[in-house]
Amino acid sequence: MVGSSPDDGGMCGGANGSLAGVVEQPELVDGHPVPDTQAQRAEAVDATVAAAAEAAPLAAPDPGLCHQLETIGSRLETLHQDFESKLKYDQAKDRQLDALHKELQAHRDDLHFKILRPVLMDLIAMYDDMHSIARHEEGRDPAESSEAEVRMRRNLASFADTIEEILDRYGVSAFTDESDTVSPQRQRSIKQVDTDDAARDRRIAQRLRKGFCNGDKVLRPELVTTYRAARKAAAAPSTRGEV
């Protein structure tokens, strides 16, 4: 049986003692110890970046590059101003075109109306003649009228209505002003009737013929008769001589 010698024990003890006495060195990166925790590592990275930033100052900008950037900015500003000017020009041109279009349309409408006006006035004159004949026939005793005359009056009234419809299709409307006084813009008095009632002076006595208008334009005013207050003769001055 072989026992352990004191030398062996001393050797082991010495080996253990030498291992226990060795201090473990931390891992180094760029001469700095690597932290054990994540927070310490982040702080170490920030410190390294800050140190690098302080150690390497920013280089001065290139004068040629600055000049090019200024040139590009100036050209962009010029392009923006040209674009704004073009927009304003287009808007002004659109307004001018709209005004010219409206003026041309008004001229066309007016020219069309000027061409049609003589024909329309002839139709209005025919309408007036038919109504005058019908009014004259209405004053006759129906018992004295033959069947042919009654039929003729109906035909005249029908023709007058047809003419009024034709005028309406061309934008000409018949009107009657319901006011008791004469409107100079839409009515014309062609006859005056004497009256003793001063309150009826210049009032409408009878409506003879309808008026016709095209929109706001009066082609033929309504024809009416009006009352006229009779003026009393002034008293003659006394001519008795002195006795």
CATH of the domain at 216: 2.30.22.10
Q: Is residue 27's pLDDT more than 60?
A: no
Please give the tally of structural domains in the chain.
1
Tens-digit pLDDT profile for residues 200-237? 888 999 998 999 999 888 999 999 999 998 775 444 45
The stretch 93-111 carries a mean pLDDT of 82
The stretch 62-68 carries a mean pLDDT of 80
The stretch 88-101 carries a mean pLDDT of 86
Give the whole-angstrom CA distance, residue 94 versus residue 128.
48
Confidence of residue 139 (pLDDT cuts 50, 70, 90): low
Q: State the average pLDDT for the chain.
A: 76
Cβ atoms within 10 A of the Cβ of 38, count?
8
**51-81 core/surface letters (b: 16 or more CB in 10 A; e: else):** eeeeeeeeeeeeeeeeeeeeeeeeeeeeeee
Residue 111 located in a structural domain = no
Tens-digit pLDDT profile for residues 152-196? 888 888 888 899 999 999 999 999 988 888 899 999 999 999 988
Tens-digit pLDDT profile for residues 69-82? 888 888 888 888 88
Q: Is residue 55's pLDDT more than 80?
A: no
Q: Is residue 32's pLDDT more than 80?
A: no
Residue 139 located in a structural domain = no
Tokens in use for 175?
A: 């009107």
Q: Which domain holds residue 220?
A: 172-231
pLDDT of residue 113: 82
Residue 226 located in a structural domain = yes
Note the pTM of the prediction, 2 decimals: 0.52
Residue 203 located in a structural domain = yes
What are the distances in angstroms from CA 12 to CA 1, 7, 8?
20, 9, 6
- Residue 112's SS3 state is helix
Residue 177 located in a structural domain = yes
Residue 104 located in a structural domain = no
Q: Which residues pair with 206 in a beta bridge?
A: 225
Q: Is residue 99's pLDDT more than 70?
A: yes
Residue 188 located in a structural domain = yes
Residue that is written with structure tokens 């008004």 in the block:
106
Residue 182 located in a structural domain = yes
Which of 177, 174, 209, 204 lies closest to 192, judged by CA? Answer: 204
Confidence of residue 16 (pLDDT cuts 50, 70, 90): very low
pLDDT of residue 165: 93
